[in-house]
Structure 1
Amino acid sequence: MTHILVAGKLHPSGVALLNSVPGVTFDYVEEVSEPSYAPLIGKADALVLRTQPLSAATVANADRLKVVSRHGVGYDAVHLPSLNERGIALTVVGDVNSVSVAEHAMMLILAASKRVLRGDRAVRQPAEWGWRNRLEAEEISGKSLLIIGYGRIGRHLARMASGFGMAIRAFDPYLKTQGWPEGQVDAVDTLSEGLAWADFASVNVPKADHPIIGAAEFAAMKRGSILVNTARGGVVEEAALLDALRSGQIGAAGLDVFDDEPPTADNPLIAFDQVVLSPHIAGLTRECGERMAVASVQNVLDFFAGKIDPKLVVNGGHATGR
């Protein structure tokens, strides 16, 4: 009998899959916090994990745990060394949310360029109707877009942006050395080169140990350019972004992710009406939520059946389930 701990609310299709498999039992904790699920970790053979952290302390109490299946592709909140030490596999869902995230990035590009929040206010507050004559809204057709990180999400975004007539280049040092994908999007040699060329920049890279966009990178950008981040909080240095917004170096921005989530009510970014904010929702459409739920559960089932796709195992040396 395999016992699974589901930490965080799943789409009903994921729960239905769990209920349909003989020989599987599960605990289901909908609250998204580590303390809510940690007391149950000791009897779990597998953990399906939404966005909450998985700390070394919780792993230390997971006596039976064989696999952790992330309900997504990021795992910066998971303490990977403790999993590796115990021989516990960590899986991700693969290419199930890239279209959703790319669509969201495209939406933020449009919303920021059209100054959607200011336009909305001009209708809801009649005294602001005259805002329309300031001509602050910008076209994106014919403008230049730098895609920072040219993986699946970046390539979907390039396809979408090309439909709006944007000129597109991408920065991805890994792909530059491993082999650039075929297509019409050229690589830039350096990030600063790409930023100096771009009217818009979209960040689509995993979180590293330091921000990829900071004060120096903002200084390299065209004055009044627009930044979109649908990657992770911490990839863009928030303090530097605030300075760039205040000075007008950055004309507008679209942000789906933040250093602290949820951001506090006194986060200075909230005061900027040329900044469009969303609650880390780029990959959480109805369709994508269902795909991630089913895929994260299926990864657990495949792991114990010995047929997990090795490409979905972050720490591949622990992929056999035996």
Structure 2
Amino acid sequence: MSEAPCILVLNRIAHPLVRDLMPGAEFLVVPAAPDPQIPPGAESRISAIMARLPGEVRAETIAHLPKLRVISAAGVGLQNIDIPAATRAGVVVVNHPGHGFLSVAEHAVGLMLALSRRIVEIDGRLRSDGWRARDHFLDRVSDRYGTVLFGQRLGIAGLGHVGLHTARICRLGLGMDVSAFSPSVAESVFQEHGIRRAATMADLCATADVLLLAAAYRAGRPPLLGTAELAVMKPTAILINVARGGLVDQPALVDALRTGQLAGAGLDVFDPEPPPADCPFRDMENVVVTPHVAGPSLYSALGLARSNAEQVFAVLAGRRPPHVVNPEVYDRA
């Protein structure tokens, strides 16, 4: 690099370690928006973008940055980056698989336990009613005290890092039976981890006591969990979504939860994000919600910071980083 890089950061820097690993770099941190407000005069200097949700990198932004060479996603997800536009402009896009999956998997298990043991509901009643909350739940133990996960079937849609690690925790730690729908994953992976293969998404839904969505999301595709899939689920089943809100037909999910077609849901992701103020999930006692925070932890933040710095630095130094999303940029060079 002949000059110190100027890096546009949408939202905020994930961890101060990024600065430590890129000494001399200029960081321009701006609020996340579809049309980021770049400081006057900075457009001609920016050579890299670090895009954290809900920040977006659109074609218009790319077109106004003549020195832009690399866009780094916040983690694995890429729905906030116009990859075709970046590729046309010769801009490398990188992401960071394998850094947040431990946090996401543990968060998913936490949502399962919160729902099955009704932890959030009990906590709220204890805070409002005092020790009378105990009698409220003991008197209605059959339907209000919650169940256990031991011996139940966990169905996983998507056997990537998150899906596999959640399977390990639930099978070995909680005594759950695990099945998965993940057509691209080899049979040897299923056998190695003691996971049953579901032939279709409908088969997975029909047999699951807990359904975990951990699949990749691609904009424009139909929801993985729609009306037909919800219709075959057990009325005692719960849904956990730590992947992307677009994987679920949300109006259909609302109906299923309201009518008792589904017992409950633990949701860390929504479509859109942030959800509107009148989002019905907020008022449902059988739903536990968190604001897309399954991935962040000190452990994952340190790994993502290092990966961001190393991959951005590699591109700016003329080297090919390990996790290029659009290799066509190099193939045509």
5 Å-filtered alignment, 1:264-275, equals 264-275=276-287
Are the structure 2 counterparts of residues 131 and 32 from structure 1 closer, same or farther at C-alpha, using a change threshold of 3 Å? farther
Identify the residue that residue 45 of structure 1 maps to in structure 2.
47
Residue 304 of structure 1, CA deviation: 2.6
Do the aligned partners of 1:169 and 1:194 also contact (CA within 8 Å) in 2?
yes
Do the aligned partners of 1:100 and 1:288 also contact (CA within 8 Å) in 2?
yes
Do the aligned partners of 2:209 and 2:234 also contact (CA within 8 Å) in 1?
yes
Where structure 2 has 5 or more consecutive residues not aligned to the other structure, the ranges are none
Q: In the alignment, which of 6, 10, 16 is matched to residue 12 of structure 1? A: 16
Question: What amino acid is the match of 1:154?
Answer: G
Residue 179 of structure 1, CA deviation: 6.9
Do the aligned partners of 1:304 and 1:321 also contact (CA within 8 Å) in 2?
no
Residue 182 of structure 1, CA deviation: 2.6
Partner-residue secondary structure (3-state), 1:102? helix
Do the aligned partners of 2:10 and 2:30 also contact (CA within 8 Å) in 1?
yes
Partners of 1:174 and 1:181 lie apart in 2 by 15
Q: In the alignment, which of 153, 158, 174 is matched to residue 164 of structure 1? A: 174
Q: In the alignment, which of 139, 147, 164 is matched to residue 148 of structure 2? A: 139
Question: What amino acid is the match of 1:169?
Answer: S
Q: In the alignment, which of 249, 253, 263 is matched to residue 261 of structure 2? A: 249
Question: What amino acid is the match of 2:114?
Answer: A
Identify the residue that residue 316 of structure 1 maps to in structure 2.
327
Partners of 1:41 and 1:93 lie apart in 2 by 26
Identify the residue that residue 57 of structure 1 maps to in structure 2.
60
Q: In the alignment, which of 95, 103, 110 is matched to residue 92 of structure 1? A: 95
Are the structure 2 counterparts of residues 289 and 88 from structure 1 closer, same or farther at C-alpha, using a change threshold of 3 Å? same
Partners of 1:4 and 1:179 lie apart in 2 by 40
Q: Which moved more, 1:165-174 or 1:129-138?
A: 129-138
5 Å-filtered alignment, 1:211-250, equals 211-250=223-262
TM-score (norm 2): 0.89
Q: In the alignment, which of 197, 202, 210 is matched to residue 192 of structure 1? A: 202
Residue 177 of structure 1, CA deviation: 8.1
When you count helix as a share of all residues, which structure comes out higher? 1
Are the structure 2 counterparts of residues 78 and 178 from structure 1 closer, same or farther at C-alpha, using a change threshold of 3 Å? farther
Where structure 1 has 5 or more consecutive residues not aligned to the other structure, the ranges are none
5 Å-filtered alignment, 1:281-292, equals 281-292=293-304
Report how many aligned residue pairs link the two structures.
317
CA RMSD of aligned residues (A): 2.1
Partners of 1:26 and 1:230 lie apart in 2 by 34
Q: In the alignment, which of 109, 113, 116 is matched to residue 110 of structure 1? A: 113
TM-score (norm 1): 0.92
Partner-residue secondary structure (3-state), 2:203? helix
